[in-house]
Every structure is written in C-alpha cells, then in structure tokens.
Amino acid sequence: MPAKVVVIGSLNMDLVTRAPRLPRGGETLIGESFATVSGGKGANQAVAAARLGAEVSMVGCVGNDAYGAELRGALLAERIDCQALSTVEDSSGVALIVVDDNSQNAIVIVAGANGSLTPQVIDRFDAVLQTADVIICQLEVPDATVGHALKRGRALGKTVILNPAPASRPLPADWFAAIDYLIPNESEASALTGLSVDSLASAETAATRLIAMGVSKVIITLGAQGSLFADGSRLEHFPAPKVKAVDTTAAGDTFVGGFAAALAAGSSEADAIRFGQVAAALSVTRAGAQPSIPTLSDVQAFKAP
C-alpha cells in the first residue's frame, strides 16, 4: 500500500504580485505582474506530499465561492482525497503576497473559511485520520483545532508533524507531548523561543531550548543554509543543495510535504530530511506556490551542480 499522509489545515487563494522590492509603510509601488494561484500552507503541503509519492487526504474548509471551487479542483487534479474537505457559507481564505527581485516575499493572510475548521469537523472525519501513517498540521486554522488534531493523532499512534506557521508566540505547553516533529523556519523558531535566530549557531541554541520545552524532535529550516535537526541527544546540520532562487514561496511547505512523504514511505530521518531539502531547492527555482512544487521524478533526477 502507498504511504498515507493526512494533512489538516488551510487552503488559500494566493493573490501574487511581483515588485522590484517590498514596500515600506505608507508607500505605493508599481507592480510588475499579478497572478492568482492555489495555495494555503495545508493545501501546499498536501500537494507536495502527493507529488512526492504519498497517497494524501486533505482535511479543511473552503468557501462557497469561485475560489473555493478552484481550490478543491486543484487538489482533485493531484489525485488528493477530498472527502474531508468541507464547503462552508463563507468566503475562501486568501493570501496577499508580494515577491521582490531578490525572491523574498511578504504575505498577509485572511482566514475566511479556514476559520470554520473546528474540532468537531476533525471528529467528523476521524475515519480519515485513522488511515494515516503521518499527520501534518500548521497554524493557519484555529488553535483549538490544531491542538485537538495533534492530540488525536497521538492517541491513534500516528507520526505527527507540526509546522508552526505562521508563528507569533510560544505554543501551548500541552501540545508538545503530541508532536513527533516540530518544523519551524528561523523566524518561527524565534517566535516560539524568544531568541534571535539568524545563523546556524543561534538555530542550535533555539533547537536546544525547544527540546527543553518538551518537544521530542525539531527540524529548523534555514533556507539556503539547509536545516538543523535536534532530538535532545544530538544536533545535526544538513546543508542545502545549491540552486538559483527565483521565488521562495512554498519552499517550506515543499520541505514539510516531502519530508512527510519520505518518512511515511519508510525512509530514515536523515534521508527524509535530505529528500525534503532537494524538493524545496527545486521549488525555489520556479515561481508560485503549488506550481513550483516538484514531482518525485524531478527529485530523483536532481543532480547537484
């Protein structure tokens, strides 16, 4: 049977514009292009896991609008099971994204229908969770729902991943025992620990603090510097493949989806991290969120320059 990944989380329509640089407060810039692209951290991670070899189910909510139909259609086109994707009386979530000439981005999210993903919805689709090898959650849906999903995943004996994004504060302490892998980026690790995380050395300090707070295993993604793994007994740095970045949107989501797909398929932690890093590296060479996510054959064919 194929490895099974269940993603519980958000779906957003990304409204993407490119500009020479990110605007300052009160400033109006002339943009260079505009596109609407299916996204949302949950949906992106679902697409990544599906393209990278896993059988995937999505648990989430979309609105009863044109964006909702398009978001559902994008998942179905990837052969993602949408039986647990509910349509609600609301607008679909949106993300307003500006990408600059250095491939950095700034994002504003409006939750919309994602706010309707409640613990009761999770319970209604418990049979879907029971089929999982790996369950992935993020923070673009209500905190109560995330906590409930993490604990239900632990009760079912599943491998549970939390990508704490977007993070603006420490996580509830009672979540930690339910998480197998916490996967923040540098800014998220900083928000969770109160430490400045801007180098490999500071990432090691943050990872050590997260372990002390009760996290079992931590992977801090460091962009072009790769990622840092910690489990309380060791710290290991995994350098990133060298590529020319075009757009970093969804790179973190691609890593999470790729790591989960590889882990569910039986890869070791180290091999799953390396697999996720190659997938993420390929994604930054392409524009957009879901359009940038590579396939399993892309990753298998990748050769570092």
44 is in an annotated binding site: yes
Tokens of 94: 């949106």
Sheet strand arrangement including 33-39:
33-39, 12-18, 93-99, 105-110
180 is in an annotated binding site: no
Q: What is the pLDDT of residue 305?
A: 65
Which residues does residue 4 pair with via DSSP β-bridges, in sequence order?
55
For residues 83 and 124, the answer to whether their CB atoms sit within 8 Å is no
Where along the chain do its domains lie?
4-10+40-91+113-294
223 is in an annotated binding site: yes
User: CB burial class (10 A; 0-12, 13-18, 19+) of residue 225?
Assistant: middle
For residues 296 and 49, the answer to whether their CB atoms sit within 8 Å is no
Residues with catalytic annotation? Answer: 253
pLDDT averaged over consecutive 10-residue blocks of the chain (305 residues)? 91 93 93 93 97 98 98 97 98 93 86 98 98 98 98 98 93 96 97 95 97 96 95 95 85 97 96 97 88 94 79
For residues 206 and 193, the answer to whether their CB atoms sit within 8 Å is yes
User: CB burial class (10 A; 0-12, 13-18, 19+) of residue 105?
Assistant: middle
For residues 122 and 149, the answer to whether their CB atoms sit within 8 Å is yes
State in words which class domain 4-10+40-91+113-294 has.
Answer: alpha beta
Q: What is the pLDDT of residue 106?
A: 87
42 is in an annotated binding site: yes
Which residues does residue 87 pair with via DSSP β-bridges, in sequence order?
62
Provide the whole-model pTM. Answer: 0.93
- Residue 8 CA to residue 137 CA, distance in Å, equals 5
